[in-house]
Structures are given as C-alpha cells and as structure tokens.
Structure 1
C-alpha cells in the first residue's frame, strides 16, 4: 500500500503531467504525418530526456508511442497513406470505408478498440511483470544468456522481410555492439585508433540516424519531400454508433487484445507484426470474410486492439529481464541505462514505486487516447497541411542538436549521418532496421553473460543446460533455430516431389 501511495505521489508531480501532455501532442503530430513512425518519434524524444528524471523520461516515451501508433490510422483512412507500419495492415480497409462515407466510423472504431487493447495490455503488464520478476530473481548468467538468445532469435524469425534479411540485420547490430573495449581483456576492438569509439558506438546518435536521417534521405531521393499531401475530407461524429459496433465485434476486440499482448511480450516482435497477424486472423474466422477489402470494420477493430496491446506487452520482457520487446522498448532500455537504472528483476525491489508509477502512466496514456485522438482526428486536415520541406528541415535540426547534446562532440553528428546512410542503404536492399537496434542493445548482455557463464562452467558447454530453467530456455532456443532449417527441408522436399516425373504404366 505504501508503494502505491508513493507511486501516486510520483505521477502527481507537475513535471510528469506536463511531460505526458507535451509528449502526447508530439506523438499525435508525428504519427499523423505519413513516413514519420512511432519509433522515429521516440528517437527524436530521447535527447529531451537528458533534462528529465527517469520517470518523466519513460512517461514521455509511453505517451508518445501510444498516441503515435493510433494517430497513424488517420492519414491511412483519409489519404490511403499509412502513418505508421502498424497502420498499413488495414489502410485499404479504412480508406474503402471513407469512400463509402464511413470515415468517422473507421477512425472511431479504431480509436476505441485501440484504447481497450491498450488498457488490456497495461493490466497484463501490471499483473505479469511483478510475478515474473519474483521468478527472475533466481536467474543466473546462464538464464540471461538464453533470454538474450531468444530476443535476438525472435527478432530475426519474425522479420517482415524474411528470415535471412532479419538475420543479416541482427548480425550487423551485434557487430556494432562489439565496438569498444573488450569486456574481459579491456583491449580496444574495432576502434580504428579513435578515442571516441573506445566506449563503443554512442547509442542515441546511431538510433537517430537509423530512424530519422534514413527517412529524410528517402524523402529527398524519392522526391516526396517536395510534395504536399492532398486535402482530406472533414470527419465529424466520430463516436456516433461506435459502442454498438464495438459490442457487435466484442470477440474481435478480445482476440486482438490477447494476441497483441502475447506477440508484444515475445522479444523482437512488436505491434507492427501484431496488426498484420490479427487482421489476417479476423478475416480467417469471420462469418463475413467476403466483405473484407470492401470497407468492413471487423478487421480494423481487431487489428486496432492488437496495436496498443502489443505496445504494453513489449514492456514486460524489457522491465523484467532487460530484454526489449521491440524497437521502442529497446530505446527505452537504452534511456534507463543512461539514467543509471538497470532494468531487471532487482528493479522491482529497489525502484518499486517508480515502476508502479510507470504502470499507472500506461493506464492514463491509454485513457487519454480518447480525448486526444478525437482532437487529432478533428485537426487532421491542419496536421496534414504542414509542408513537407519545412517539416523535414525541422526534423533534421532536431536530429543534429540531439546527437550533439549527447557528449557535446561533432563526432556524434558524424555517427548519426553514417548510420543514417547505412540504414537507408539497408532499407533500399530490403533489410529491416529494428533487429539492428535490438542487436546493439542485447549484444553486450549476450557477450557478458556468455563469458561469465563460461568462466563459471570452466568451459563446459553442457553447463548451459544443467540448471532447470536454463535447460528449458536452451531447448526452446534450439527449437527456434531449427524452424528455418525444417522449413527449408520441407520446401526442398515438396519441390523434388513435384519435379519428379510420373512413371508410365
């Protein structure tokens, strides 16, 4: 009870309230502009967190991403241009609803289902995280090594561009994580004589470059930076008839919330994948599947619930084990490390009040989605009238100032530009960026726990399977690694069987 009262006192701080308010407005603005993702919004927020306490920093990230994911539905519905990757799953559906004069219903149902899904995910986070933390207190370096492997493996396996591309992206992230001082010998690795790289690649400039600079380069080189958006039609009566509609498709809301939370908890997955899977699930089990693609709200409601449920679920492994659930929580974990706070089960003992305050902020942010989302939808025509050239110039300025502010060095601006060009080149080649971030964050955790475990076990690899929980996690990782191999063997087998000529009798 004392912890809860302390948590209430923490979130009643005017600085936290103002931070949530400003981050919400920023998230709605960025999410509603096509091409500016929720992850990019979070990346641009990170330099601002240097001037905040840990709770305000996390509150800003939570509020910003929740708003940005939901606001991404607005341009998808009105212009057929998804604001975020998660919105792309049902953009055609919502746009067809708008063409039929049901734009208000599309945005209203998506908004309400997102709130329900987000609240469900937040409740799961509040219940599951402390319970898992009590179990995780018994974890050793063996268990943490396997957890890091699970996070990295899932990042590659669930990549939307394929396993090979995801794996390559992951290896690039792990390679970047090795830059700096060796954790055992203390000798420099891949620093090329640069003193600035002795402490490793600075996380924030690299992240800003990969998510913001790469988008600016894409807009410039594809000509979209000089284009204006079409003027969308005005939407009114957003909540009219929404409650009966949500009640009619309550099964979809429940299923989207559950699946979204589970996928969010899975390290490396995130809300983008949850939206695609739940939209496909809704179509598969719908009694009116023939209506999908013609402006039918069922899939929109289920995928909308999964979006925000996945956001909350991704914080479970991030807070309990320090293993990010997606790119946004990877950024959040990096911010916590910079604040001198190490995510993990001990955090629930040493910073219990702050964690419960974070849980409450999840609830507040999702409830605040209703009024803020309504305002964003009403103001959509004004948000989408922002000229792109000016918008890109402001974003570039934020990127440069934010990267310089980390260590007050021009070198970090160079790091930002290099990683921006690298991310742009990889994106053009069809290689995802999110696994790189997870590799950079989880690489040191993987290496340190592997070397610690090898020292304890005196080089005996079987020791990684001797502890009960470590053994279960290790077998699970091996099964994960066998999935692509088994899939490849089955494909080759089918190909051979189809290619074999029939015998004439």
Structure 2
C-alpha cells in the first residue's frame, strides 16, 4: 500500500503531468499524419528522455504510443489513408462510413473503444502480468509458426468478398516478404544485385505507398474531384456512444480479449491484433454482408483490440525484459539507461515505479477522449481543403515519412513503386489489406518454419508434438474447414 501512495506522489506532479500532456499531443500529431507510425513517434522521443527523470521518461513513451495508435484512425476515416499500420485493417470500413455521411459515428467509435481497449489491457497488465508472461514464454517456434498461419488465414476473411483476389493479394505480400537476406541460409533473394534490397523491403514505405500514395494517384487521375459526396461536417462524436456500447458489447469484449492475447506474444503487437480482430468480427457477424460498405461493428472490435494489444505488450517487457512489440523494445532500452532493469527484480525492489507506470497507462487512456475529441474537431479542416491542394501536401508528408524510415532516398523509391502497385491492384478490385498482412507475417512464418525443421532434423511431426501447437493446428484446420464448407454451401444454394 505504501508503494501505491508513493506511485501517486511520483505521477501527480506538474513535471510528469506536463510531460505526459505534451507527449500525448505529439503522439496525436504524428499518428494523424499518414506514414508516420507510433514506433517512429516513440523513437523520436528517445533523445529527449535522456534529460528526464525515469517516471516522466517512461510516461512520455507510454502516452505518445497510445495516442499515435488512436490518431492513425483519423486520416483513415476521413481520407482513407491510415496514419499507422494498426489502422490499416479497418481503414476501408471507416472511410466507407464517411462516404455514407457517418464520419462522426466512425470517429466516435474509434475514440471510445480505443480508450476502453487500452484500459482493459492495462487492467490485465496490472493483475495478471506474471502468469500471462510465463504463458507467452512457453511458446516455441512451433507455436509461432501456427500463430503466423492463423494470421495469414485472416487474409481469407478480409478478402472474403472475392477469396481468389484476396489470395492473389496475399501471395503478392508473401513474395515481397522473401526479398533480401532475411532467411536461414543468408543467400540474397530477388535483390537483382542491389545492396539496398539486401535488407529486404521496408514495411513502412511499402505501407505508405500501398495506401496513401495510391489514393493520391487515384484522386489526381480522377481530376481531383471535390468532397461533395462526403460529409464535410463532423458533428457530435459522443452522440451514439450509449447505443454502440449496448449493441456491440460482445464485440468489444472479444476484441479486448483477442488484442490482449496477441499483445503478450513477443513480436505480434497492435498491427496483427487489429487485422485478426477485424477478420474475427467479420467471420462471426450476423450481418457479414454489411462489411466493406461502412459497418461500425468491425471498427468496434478492431479498435478495442489494437489498444488492448498495445497495453498488454508490456507484460513480457516489464516482467521478463522481452519486448512485446517494437515500441516496448525501444522503451526497454530507455529503462536500462535509467537504471530500471526490467525483470522480476523490478517488482521486488522498485514496486512504486511499476505502480507509477500503471497509473500513467490509465491516465493516458483517459486523456485520449478529450484530446482525441479536440484533434478530431481540428481534423475537420481536412475535408474543407480542396483536393487539388490537399493531395500534394499529403504526398509531401508521405515522402518525409518514407525517407525518415531509414534516412535514405531508397525508402522514397519503395514508396512510389508500391504506390503504383496499390493503384493497379485497386483498379482491378484486388484488396490491399491481405498484401500488407503477407508482408508483415511472411518473415515470421518462414523463420519459425525453418527453425522448427532444423530442430527436428526435418521431421514434420514436430509441428504438432507440443500441446499448444497441436491445439493451434486443430483450430487452423477447423477454420479452413468452416470456410470451405460455407463456400461449398453457397455454391449449392446458388445452383438450386
């Protein structure tokens, strides 16, 4: 109890509160710009933390990341350009709501369920950190292989309007993921003699190109039409909160649980959680035909999931020093610099510091509602700006984001190439989301497959000889059986 009172004293000082508020505004600004990710925002804060005490330093990181993940929903909803990769899973859904004149409902759902998801993940972090971290550490390469397969299976659901085209998009993403030296043998693949390609295709410029640059190209090719068919006024975002909570509470809880479960697995993070939860929502919805046309149900589950994953990723980071995602990997470095070595001893010798971090998590998610509302009000100006002016400005921000990903012009080239790819894919009704999923999960799948085969001396039985791996394999088989059965049944109904 003494440690809890000390934690309140550490957090509720003007220095910490000022730092947290400033970091929140910075995270909102970065997240709302297409291409500038939450990881990038957190990394940009690292030099400043060298001049801070430990609590405000960690607080700035926590708040900035949470705000950036949410803020990525704003340009995705208003312009169909996700600010962060975690927003990409449901960008098309949110933008479809805007085109229907429901921008305020979409943004209201993003604010509310992002905050609730973050609070749920924080509660799990507070009450179940040791047990959950221990469970995550029991995963080996077999379990990660099946998790990656489950993630790729989600691409089928995301592209379920046309499974064949969804599979084509997924295969393009997997092909992109094979470029470079990131394989067991270290042999260059598809590099064509380029030293830049040896490091593989950078995901950030690719994502910027596929979503943002392709949209700029499409808009300019259409002659930069006005926003007449889009609701310019974003009204009261709080108006339908009660109705959404009453109607979609099951989806919210499912998204929270899914995001938390994925977040505690090292390397998964909010991006994967958003894709998986959106796919689950579509698969088990009573009205799946509404998805892709502007349906808030998918937004509820996915936004609940990505912020829950962001909080729960700190479970293995704080308890065992294993980063749950790229953001916690950066923060672990800051903790070491500040003398707060993550691990079980941190809970024993510095409990007040752990409680202070928990309080900052709660504070950050509560701040998300008023600050998010303020930024949404300011973002309304995006839809009042003529497209002929706005699109070149967005393209400049995209170029800056692509260059900043590796401080080289190579990122800009990747962005432009994938912009053309995204433009031609959408012109032929090939969805982009499965391609993104293939790029992200492809390396994880290959690495864990090769590792497992080396450990087992080539025996395929080792993929199912562990209890958790066997359960995941059975779950995957059941999912595919369900998909094939529903497809067969629809064909039979169509023939009769």
TM over 0.5: yes
SS in 1 for 2:185: coil
Please state how far the C-alpha of 1:445 moved relative to its aligned partner.
Answer: 1.7
Relative distance call for 1:234 and 1:455 in structure 2 (3 A) is: closer
Residue in structure 2 matching 1:52, options 45, 56, 66: 45
Please report the TM-score for the alignment, with normalisation by the length of structure 2: 0.70
Structure 2 match to 1:296: none
Relative distance call for 1:374 and 1:206 in structure 2 (3 A) is: closer
SS in 1 for 2:275: coil
Query: What is the distance in 1 between the residues matched to 2:402 and 2:306?
Result: 26
Structure 2 match to 1:35: none
Question: How many residues in Structure 1 have an aligned counterpart in Structure 2?
Answer: 440
Relative distance call for 1:472 and 1:220 in structure 2 (3 A) is: same
Structure 2 match to 1:64: 68
Please state how far the C-alpha of 1:402 moved relative to its aligned partner.
Answer: 2.8
SS in 2 for 1:478: helix
Structure 2 match to 1:142: 142
Structure 2 match to 1:449: 448
Q: Deviations over 1:456-491 (max 9, x none)?
A: 111111121111111111111222233332233333
* 2:317 paired with 1:309: no
Relative distance call for 1:484 and 1:462 in structure 2 (3 A) is: same
Pairwise mapping of residues 46-125 of structure 1 onto structure 2 (< 5 A)? Answer: 47-53=40-46, 59-69=63-73, 84-87=91-94, 113-114=112-113, 117-118=116-117, 121-123=120-122
Please state how far the C-alpha of 1:422 moved relative to its aligned partner.
Answer: 0.9
Please state how far the C-alpha of 1:141 moved relative to its aligned partner.
Answer: 1.3
Structure 2 match to 1:409: 408
Structure 1 match to 2:321: none
Please state how far the C-alpha of 1:420 moved relative to its aligned partner.
Answer: 1.3
Please state how far the C-alpha of 1:418 moved relative to its aligned partner.
Answer: 0.5
Q: Deviations over 1:272-291 (max 9, x none)?
A: 5688789967999xxxxxxx
Pairwise mapping of residues 316-465 of structure 1 onto structure 2 (< 5 A)? Answer: 333=325, 363-376=362-375, 379=378, 382-465=381-464
Query: What is the distance in 2 between the residues matched to 1:358 and 1:425?
Result: 46
Structure 2 match to 1:37: none
Q: Deviations over 1:152-206 (max 9, x none)?
A: 2123334354433332222222211111125332221111111111121122222
Structure 1 match to 2:205: 205
Please state how far the C-alpha of 1:450 moved relative to its aligned partner.
Answer: 0.9
Query: What is the distance in 2 between the residues matched to 1:228 and 1:360?
Result: 45
* 2:22 paired with 1:18: yes
Structure having the higher Rg = 1
Are the counterparts in 1 of residues 234 and 380 from structure 2 also a CA contact under 8 Å?
Answer: yes
Out of 85-94 and 4-13, give the one that drifted further. Answer: 4-13
Query: What is the distance in 1 between the residues matched to 2:440 and 2:346?
Result: 22
Query: What is the distance in 1 between the residues matched to 2:343 and 2:370?
Result: 32
* 2:264 paired with 1:269: no
Are the counterparts in 1 of residues 456 and 462 from structure 2 also a CA contact under 8 Å?
Answer: yes
Query: What is the distance in 2 between the residues matched to 1:401 and 1:108?
Result: 26
Please state how far the C-alpha of 1:63 moved relative to its aligned partner.
Answer: 0.6
Are the counterparts in 2 of residues 19 and 60 from structure 1 also a CA contact under 8 Å?
Answer: yes
Please report the TM-score for the alignment, with normalisation by the length of structure 1: 0.69
CA RMSD of superposed structures (Å): 4.8
Pairwise mapping of residues 226-237 of structure 1 onto structure 2 (< 5 A)? Answer: 232=232
Q: Deviations over 1:116-174 (max 9, x none)?
A: 64455435653567543211212221111111111121233343544333322222222
Relative distance call for 1:384 and 1:372 in structure 2 (3 A) is: farther
List alignment gaps of at least 5 residues for structure 2.
50-57, 81-89, 263-272, 318-323, 334-340
Query: What is the distance in 1 between the residues matched to 2:405 and 2:99?
Result: 41
Structure 1 match to 2:482: 483
Out of 346-355 and 250-259, give the one that drifted further. Answer: 346-355
